[in-house]
Amino acid sequence: MFGFLNLNKPAGCTSHDCINELRRRLRLKRIGHGGTLDPMATGVLPIALGAATRLLPYLSDRKAYIGTVRFGITTTTDDITGEICQEQVASHLTLAAIQEQLPQFMGEIEQLPPAYSAIQVAGQRLYARARAGEVVSVPPRIVTVYRIEVLDWQPGRHPELTLHIICGRGTYIRALARDLGAALGVGGTLAALQRIESSGLRIEESHCLESIAPEHLPLCSPQAVLSHLPWLELNAAQLNDWYHGRAVICEGLPPAESVVGVTFATACVGIGISGGDRLHPKVVLKE
């Protein structure tokens, strides 16, 4: 098996739970995913099968989410699965006041990861250390938020704001909910999250876990999942050099150090790095 699956992760399970279930269903050990989703979250989870796992580092950084922020509540996990830390009435909030705050959360921003996250510190996941009662100091990270659009506003004691967010790798929507609530002086937590696009895979074309089986394997090609890369087709002579790990002389290569997808007879045979008139093998795939 070789290729990608567009999995619609259900709520209540971890991304690794999905991997384990797919290994059982497909009787395949070599499976990986293209970006962790929290247990509470649903939506697009890119899955790589077989040698396609070697292509995971080259997936696009850009992801899109629909998230709902609940104001007036803060939690230990920055979402509604955690214990409530503080609670207050936030019925005075207006959509206009919120929209004034949103621009500061767009562009390149500093973001402090949630205490309960999969980030490793001193060889341990933050969530494991938080569950053990440790308070770990983690420096903020630079993340990129390309767009925030308001989709819905529900006033009330704990008003809720639904947002469409396009962001880069490493962005925590939970942290954005927390920080937006703090900026408004009432606190906030993430009430719902769905990833609607990742690496060019869209929620409308995703498949539920229960529908995937060896006899029903809706594979996506590497070319589709890595469509943000330039692609180069090799001829037979070039392919021989490629398979032996030798740089291939090519015309029309992108600028030096560019990542290039490589095919032969429309099949993906790896990833190269451009350098002058040569393409240097980085990942070589042989069927």
Residues acting as catalytic residues: 38
Three-class SS of residue 280?
A: strand
Residues paired with residue 194 on neighbouring β-strands, in sequence order: 42, 66
Cβ contacts of 212 within 8 Å, gap of 6 or more: 5, 7, 22, 25, 26, 218
Residue 30 structure tokens: 């070599």
Positive/negative CA dihedral, 83, 180, 34, 246: negative
Which residue in the block uniquely carries the two structure tokens 């995913």? 33
- How many whole angstroms separate alpha carbon 13 and alpha carbon 17? 6
Q: How far is CA 85 from the centre of its chain?
A: 28
